[in-house]
Amino acid sequence: MKLARRVEQLPPYLFARISELIAAKRAAGVDVISFGIGDPDLPTPDYILDSLKRAAEVPVNHRYPETEGLPEFRQAVARWYERRHHVALDPEREVVSLIGSKEGIGHLPLCLVDPGDVVLMTDPGYPVYEIGTMFCGGESVKVPLREEDGWLPRLDDIPADVADRARIIWLNYPNNPTGAVADRAFFEEAVAWAKTHDVVIAHDLAYSEVTYDGYVAPSILEVDGARDVAIEFNSLSKSFNMTGWRIGMAVGNATLVDALRRVKSNLDSGVPQAVQQMAITALDGPSEAITSHNDIYRRRRDRVVEVLRQLGLRVEPPKASLYVWARLPEGEHSSADYAGRLIDATGVVVTPGVSYGPAGEGYIRISLTLADDRVEEGLRRLSAFARGEQVLDT
């Protein structure tokens, strides 16, 4: 049986590799502690779950939903953007529901990219940006991010001929994997650059509410003129611990939102209406749960930073996201080798930075989405490893 080239060319999905590694160690009897995947361990708040239970009893919610989302859901998104970002959205033209933001991110290139077109993506970056481009026959051009630049791209360093061929540039702040943040001044620069080169900005804002130490993440749509060139993706997954319910939204430029809706209408049947109802409850509800969850993540962040420094890694506490991004100790050059030694010696899984692109080499990523007792056990093992002690009996 011959598969399509696009399937044969697919790299193993990053987290699938991590899962295989974990399975192999567990098969060998190791109690593996994985800091590899950013899937919140904290449950969806009860008041949101209660809304889902009520909606599940309504027969109309048992039928096919509409691709663009319930009007009530799109209105709730618009209300949330108005409260949170002081951005006024037209819920009919500038909001579309997504089966999680990953789905919309994967489908956007189908709206804009023809074979041979260029898509710009930051490196290191979320792998789905590149995969969506590949499925369309587009050419991915990586824009390196550097620690000395605060992990922000140097837009003016992109060659003019490349920029003029580009259809999309992907941005993601707060950033996965680095935890970096961007201010309005950077977004103003990005919007001006995109207008100069006629490039669409696709901004992934999935970590907008996972913030610490008083930091408030902006939306690119807060910038004057951004809606001329930008579409923004967000999700309830990380903000409300709803990764398993698969609901998000794309907002911004009406032409882009409509194109995404049209693509989706031919490929999916939308988000179940009961899930949309629970999302409405979340978006219109109180923010105390988000604050409480962030306090937990912040405490974990501080402990992780403390232990990584014991290991000789260079790390600064991130202001946002669910991740700590750390530079390898002096003399270490391969993030994959370093991560491999950690799991062999301690049973602790971290993600090699090179998994997110060549510019991620020399770093590792640690997720904060483990229960506190597992975080502490993992850190205890890493501390023992730092002291030169044997950690595992097997």
Under 8 Å CB-to-CB from 24, ≥6 apart: which residues? none
Phi, psi of 28 (to 5 degrees): -85, 5
Cα-based angle 260, 263, 268 (whole degrees, multiple of 5): 110
- Sheet (strand 363-367) strand order: 323-327, 363-367, 351-352
Helix spans in the chain (H)? 5-8, 14-27, 46-56, 71-85, 101-112, 128-135, 160-165, 184-197, 254-265, 273-284, 288-310, 335-346, 372-386
Give the model's pLDDT for residue 357: 95
- What is the pTM assigned to this prediction? 0.96
The type of residue at 111 is C
Cβ atoms < 10 Å from Cβ of 134: 18
Cβ atoms < 10 Å from Cβ of 44: 19
- What are the residues facing 367 on neighbouring strands? 323
Query: Could you give the C-alpha distances from 173 to 55, 61, 236, 252, in angstroms and in order?
Result: 33, 35, 16, 16
**Coil, strand or helix at 121:** strand
Give the model's pLDDT for residue 383: 96
Give the model's pLDDT for residue 202: 98
Cα-based angle 40, 77, 207 (whole degrees, multiple of 5): 30
**Coil, strand or helix at 288:** helix
Under 8 Å CB-to-CB from 165, ≥6 apart: which residues? 117, 118
**Coil, strand or helix at 286:** coil
**Coil, strand or helix at 332:** coil
Beta-strand pair 363-367/33-34: unpaired
Q: Is there a contact between 348 and 30 (Cβ–Cβ < 8 Å)? A: no
d(CA 77, CA 252): 12
User: pLDDT tens digits, the chain, 394 residues: what are they?
Assistant: 999 988 888 877 666 666 777 788 889 899 999 999 899 999 999 999 999 999 999 999 999 999 999 999 999 999 999 999 999 999 999 999 999 999 999 999 999 999 999 999 999 999 999 999 999 999 999 999 999 999 999 999 999 999 999 999 999 999 999 999 999 999 999 999 999 999 999 999 999 999 999 999 999 999 999 999 999 999 999 999 999 999 999 999 999 999 999 999 999 999 999 999 999 999 999 999 999 999 999 999 999 999 999 999 999 999 999 999 999 999 999 999 999 899 989 999 999 999 999 999 999 999 999 999 999 999 999 999 999 999 987 5
d(CA 330, CA 311): 11
Peptide bond preceding 174 in cis form (omega within 30 of 0)? yes
Domains of the chain: 5-44+288-386 (3.90.1150.10), 57-284 (3.40.640.10)
Distance of CA 308 to the CA centre of its chain: 23
Q: Is there a contact between 165 and 158 (Cβ–Cβ < 8 Å)? A: no
d(CA 290, CA 242): 12
Token pair of 115 as six digits: 């074979």
Secondary structure element (H or E) that encloses residue 352, with its range: strand 351-352
HEC secondary structure over 56-71: HCCHHHHCCCCCCCCH
Q: Is there a contact between 208 and 217 (Cβ–Cβ < 8 Å)? A: yes
* DSSP character at residue 98: E
Q: Is there a contact between 178 and 124 (Cβ–Cβ < 8 Å)? A: yes
Query: Could you give the C-alpha distances from 128 to 25, 237, 299, 369, 385, in angstroms and in order?
Result: 27, 16, 30, 21, 34
Q: Which residue has the tokens 């409850």?
A: 281
d(CA 343, CA 265): 44
Distance of CA 74 to the CA centre of its chain: 22
